[in-house]
Structure 1
Amino acid sequence: MKTWLRVVCSTSLLASLLIGCTTTPAENAEPAANQQAADGTEKSAAQEPMVLHWSITGEPPTMDPGIATDASSMDMINLAFEGLTIVDRQFEMINGTAESFTNSPDFTHFTFTLRKDAKWSNGDPVTAHDFEYAIKRNLDPKTASGYAYQLFYLKGGEEFFNGTGKAEDVGVKAKDDYTLDFTLRSPTPFFRELTSFTTYYPLHKKTLESNPKWANAASTIVGNGPFVIDTWEHKAKLAFSKSPTYWEEGKLVVADNPGTKAVIFNTQQPPFTNKKIRQAFAYSINRQMLIDNILQTGVPPAYGWVPTSMGLNPDGYFKEDVEKAKQLLAEGMKDLGLSEFPKVTYYYDTGETDKKIAQALQDEWKKTLGINIDIRTAEWKVFNEDVQNGKYDFGIWLWGADFNDPINFLEMYKDKEGGNNVVRFDNKEYRDLLNKSYYETDAQKRKQLMFDAEKILMEEMPLAPLHFRGNAYVKNDKVKDFVIFPLGGSYFKYAYIEK
């Protein structure tokens, strides 16, 4: 017997993902013995709710799809909201709230037809107008969406965000309640994949306009996904249950992204304004030691920013070289007129693994470069705000794929003040290469442009890649159809539990 499961996400555990659950009898199995309920009546095991306990790394800062930039928020958003497309258990992009789509031969125009049975959790129909409203709202500079740049693929999107264009000129239009048109600024073959990302999700206009704090409480969140939020005990847990209005009943999927963990440098903060000093720190890191002694997951070391699975440059752009690191440090200090290295602080968000990495790097740089560094930590929300606002010297950072293309890892550093450019990298040649790649339709030429751009990034070294992310997790064998996807984060929709 399969039943829908209830998901309880705990923010109190900051470790590996752990699933525990109660069970119901499998189909054709013998019925379980009846159990005595608290009120003295008998209750069979088949009547027990199916509950999955899932630990996340910290309090989700928001449940607003247009505002969220962190993995914890996005995982929870993917429970309560859904885009035009989703990913199935075979890693294929399939229709979600949309039932079909068409595109022009040059990939500059896409039209999606929405399901007429798609509804919000309050019973209202989900319409194309909800998508148009959400996208334009996320592009509005007043919204301050960290992922607004993901919408720059739309004609007029970047101009509206920068204040040089108007909302009505953005290339998204609801032709009627169930037909949504997109006009793109340049050929974008991967645009359908983008529509599964949270910044493209619909929003319930009446909810947003009636309550500016709608995304911070379970009782005020109106979503269109497979689950609804029953309770949200801040800094403790979130509890979800099946949405009675969701268009499809199915099983839950949990997704994971390819990603890269790196040391990031605040290039606006001395001494990390100097490229040679950034390189010195990068070349002196023993990555395999971190993997073998701390991570112990067998993930590969990273010598480039773009994950090797995206096929840009599997060999990487540099290698560890302690002697060269010492030489670069001396040259960089001379360039800055420093006789001794200044005090710097390495910053990381709470978590036992990142703590161990911080301590290991502290010891490594003392041993190889003779530099004493301080380390400090803060919970994710504070850490993220500090990093986004440039209030740090250097520290740890993780980026997971939003869609399966190298541009997703490269364009975040294209514009100095762009979304997620936390290192404030600013390089005209790099910017020109990426801008050119947007209009290049030849796949090999486009790949070369992005290769050349990543080469510049790894030469300038505003960040020092450490390792690529793996898929390590712990799962109870009784949880069925539980799959870690190569893209998409944790996506709860399909799972069931059998005895």
Structure 2
Amino acid sequence: MRRVALLVAALASLLVLAACGGQTSETSEVVKEVTKVVTQVVEGETVEKVVVVTATPEPSGPEPVTVNINWGTEPPTADPALSTDTTSHAVIEEIFLGLTDLDPETAEAIPELALEWNANEDNTVWTFKMRDNAVWVRHVPGGETEVVTDDEGNPRKVTAHDVVYGVKRTCDPRTGSDYSYILYIIKGCEELNTADPDAENFQELYDAVGVRAVDDFTVEFELNYGAGFFPQIASMPVTFPVPQWVIEEKGDRWVEPGFIVTNGPYVIDEWVHGDHLDLVRNPHWYGWEEFADKAGNIERLHGVMIEEASTEFALYESNELDTAGVPLEQMDRVKTDPVLSKELVNNPVNCTYYYGFITKKAPTDDVRVRRALSMAIDRKTLVEAVLKGGQIPANAFTNPLNYGSPAGDPEVAPWALPEDMGGWGYAKAVEEAKKLLEEAGYPDGSGLDILLMHNVSEGHAKIAQAIQAMWQQAFPQATVTIETQEWRVYLKTIEKDSPLEDKPNVYRLDWCADYPHANNWVHEVFHPEEGSNRPMMSYDDPQVGDLVREFAETTKAAQTASPEEQLALYKRAEQLLVDEIAAMAPIYYYTRVAVAKPWLDRVWGEPGRMYLWMWKLDVDARNAAMGK
């Protein structure tokens, strides 16, 4: 997920903190429209805007079992093909189904729409046999959830044709999926995705993508190379079946409440942009009966969008949220508090927090500057004195919970590791960093002007301020400026195709595994052509162009190498990425630092996967605690 697996307001929440007939009604026919003034932070400024929202009628009858959470920010989208961040993924995972899901404990692929799957001898052809009892539904905001029917009045089932459409839609350049490169593993996807939609052979390229419906409930994929992890890729939103007839009718508006047609355990009931997004249980999901022994009792999720970790935690302490992240400044108190300490959850999460460098913008177009900045981050002090959540200093991008990760190997960026982990230690790292800056023409940082940017979050701000102080101390004559942007704006700013003049020198991001394999990290995030490549690594870079080419060739070679060869290749890729090219600075490996009320029994999956259908809430216990 991950997805990009970006954590929006991650420190606040985790710190880890098909052509068919059929019609749908216009929203105005079934939903009353109202206006609401919503406050948002845009490009660093607080603004108010009037938004049109759908009103939810006052409920009649028993109050539904409702869990209250914080999404942490406005989800950028609910479209599976367009999602790149964990907040969007978290919503999408609750309302849509994939061929597979990931086990919340092992991250292994488990059945979802697909009941079974198999591959040919070299893992290049995968066949998935799907269930025949998943149906498409449409929810009337504030009203009922209806099963969508075909022209003959029969329930419209989720079929292999819907999967084929969903995959090809992701690969189709007209969709504009920033995450389409994940599916370049499928034959023909890259060729389609990089083609001119007006080209004479465009339809041929579309038809040639290696996914086909063998029958209504059997789908087959043909891959460019053997990948034993493909069933895990099949759990990602970019592979999800989506309702072609709705998308063709509504266009970009197809994901709006009242229009959107989904198939998961929950549906969107109300989405007030910038304020809250609520889900309610889909009574037509097969899982409530099939998995009754595992199913929870959550009938409604009320999710607010609060970016400030302190506000979120205050709402948790006043019992207005049932689960929350722990702000940095509250860590010591939570650990020692007799009540909060029992509600604290602290465990490893498959995510890496990092700073990326824009390699085409001065002064970070100089590899010596990039290396020096990375060296001068005191990771040990940051995790122990600022974060305080058991995070681990990172010397490699790929989190240690993944196959092929060289995390902790001192042959990879030893300057990033403290001495007790076999590294140089910070004092030596700063000494070498000073030498590099002097060689680059910035003695003691004189003339060095760096813009560091992060999305709005108190946690990210504290980390940025700590690193700013480290850089200022190491290079006293340098100028380091911090700028923040609202999440949706921020994502556009740091896209590789966005104007260079709008980009910072250094940007904050994190990556959480879509599947636990190094290919998902070094190749799918940083490959110059087939990855997101936000640092803008280029073969024509006068300093490191040859190294960039070696990095690209190394990550490609690892895809078809033997397991033993893969380990060596992924290690070499990390050496190139974080040390010799220094396109990014890995900072720490996440842990989950969160709290949950004693009346909530929830599943702690990886970011972007909540498994809400398994949560259980003791309403009586909550009411008693709140004096009701």
For residue 168 of structure 2, the aligned residue among 130, 136, 141 is 136
* Residue 373 (structure 1) aligned with residue 494 (structure 2): no
Please name the residue that 1:312 is paired with: 405
Name the CA distance, whole Å, in 2 between partners of 1:256 and 1:232: 32
Residues 220 and 257 of structure 1: CA distance in aligned 2, closer, same or farther (over 3 Å): farther
Instruction: In structure 1, give the amino acid aligned to 2:162.
Output: D
Contact 1:256 1:488 in 2 (8 A): no
Alpha-carbon distance in 1 for matches of 2:270, 2:348: 25
Partners of 1:379 and 1:174 lie apart in 2 by 41
Paired residue for 1:8?
none
Q: Which residue of 1 aligns with 2:379?
A: 287
The more displaced of 228-237 and 431-440 is 431-440
What is the Cα deviation at residue 144 of structure 1?
Answer: 1.7
Query: Is the contact between residue 362 and residue 372 of structure 1 (CA under 8 Å) also seen in structure 2?
Result: no
**Equivalent position of 1:173 in the other structure:** 212
Equivalent residues of 1:14, 1:57 under 8 A apart: no
Question: Aligned partners of 1:102, 1:289: CA distance in 2, in Å?
Answer: 48
- How many pairs does the alignment contain? 460
> Cα offset for 1:118?
0.6
Instruction: Quote the Cα distance in structure 2 between the aligned partners of 1:269 and 1:338.
Output: 21
Distance in 2 between residues matched to 1:195 and 1:132, nearest whole Å: 12
User: Which residue does the alignment assign to 2:181?
Assistant: 149
**Would you say 1:184 and 2:223 are equivalent positions?**
yes
Counterpart-to-counterpart distance in 2, 1:15 and 1:486: 15
Structure 1 partner of 2:124:
108
Please show how residues 225-244 of structure 1 align to structure 2 within 5 Å.
225-244=264-283
CA 240–379 in structure 1, closer or farther in 2 if over 3 Å, else same: same
Match of 1:204 in 2: 243
Alpha carbons 2:160, 2:218 under 8 Å: kept: yes
1:328 aligns with 2:436: yes
Match of 1:57 in 2: 72
TM-superposed CA distance for 1:359, in Å, is 1.2
**Which of residues 454, 464, 486 in structure 1 aligns to 2:585?**
464
**Whole-angstrom CA distance in 2 between matches of 1:407 and 1:13:** 23
Q: 1:453/1:119 Cα in 2 relative to 1: closer, same or farther (>3 Å)?
A: same
Greater displacement, 198-207 / 308-317: 308-317
The amino acid that maps onto 1:312 is S
Question: Post-superposition shift, 1:138?
Answer: 0.6
- The one-character-per-residue Cα deviations of 1:296-326 (angstroms, maximum 9, x if unpaired) are 1111011111111225213242224110000
1:230 partner amino acid: D
Provide the rounded CA distance (Å) in 1 between the counterparts of 2:255 and 2:90: 15
Residue in 2 that maps onto 1:274: 366
Question: 1:4: which partner in 2?
Answer: none
Contact preservation (8 Å) 2:166, 2:240: yes
CA distance in 2, matches of 1:142, 1:223: 22
Q: Distance in 1 between matches of 2:179 and 2:436?
A: 35
Aligned-partner SS, 2:449: coil
Q: Distance in 2 between matches of 1:403 and 1:12?
A: 22
CA RMSD of aligned residues (A): 2.7
Per-residue CA deviation, residues 458-499 of structure 1 (Å, 9 max, x unaligned), is 22111111111112211122222x222357633422112234
- Partner AA of 1:332 in structure 2: A
Deviation at 1:394, TM superposition (A): 1.1
Contact 2:437 2:444 in 1 (8 A): no
Q: Check 1:376–1:76 CA distance in 2 against 1; reply closer, same or farther (3 A cut).
A: same
Distance 1:425 1:378, change over 3 A: same
Counterpart of 1:344? Answer: 450
Q: 1:158 to 1:273 in 2, by over 3 A?
A: same
Between the aligned partners of 1:340 and 1:61, the Cα distance in structure 2 is: 40
Calculate the TM-score normalised by the size of structure 1: 0.86
Aligned CA distance change for structure 1 residues 51 and 399 (closer, same or farther; 3 Å): same
Question: C-alpha distance in 2, partners of 1:360/1:90?
Answer: 33
Provide structure 1 residue ranges, at least 5 long, that are not aligned to the other structure. 1-10, 19-38
Looking at structure 2, the residues matched to 474 and 291 of structure 1 have their Cα atoms a distance apart, in angstroms, of 19
Q: Distance in 1 between matches of 2:85 and 2:396?
A: 22
CA distance in 1: counterparts of 2:585 and 2:251, whole angstroms: 39
Give per-residue Cα distances to partners, 1:423-443, cap 9 Å, x unaligned. Answer: 112311111111112222x21
Partner of 1:396: 508
The answer to whether 1:15 aligns with 2:7 is no
Q: Distance in 1 between matches of 2:96 and 2:349?
A: 19
Counterpart of 1:314 in structure 2: which amino acid? A
Same amino acid, percent of matched pairs: 28
Matched-pair contact (CA < 8 Å) for 1:75–1:491:
no
Aligned-partner residue type, residue 77 of structure 1? I
Structure 2: 5+ residue stretches without partners: 1-7, 16-57, 139-146, 148-155, 197-203, 299-322, 324-346, 416-425, 539-547, 622-628
TM-score, structure 2 as length reference: 0.69
CA offset digits 1:67-115 (Å, max 9, x no partner): 0101111111111111001134543421101122121121111111111
1:493–1:425 Cα change, 3 Å: farther
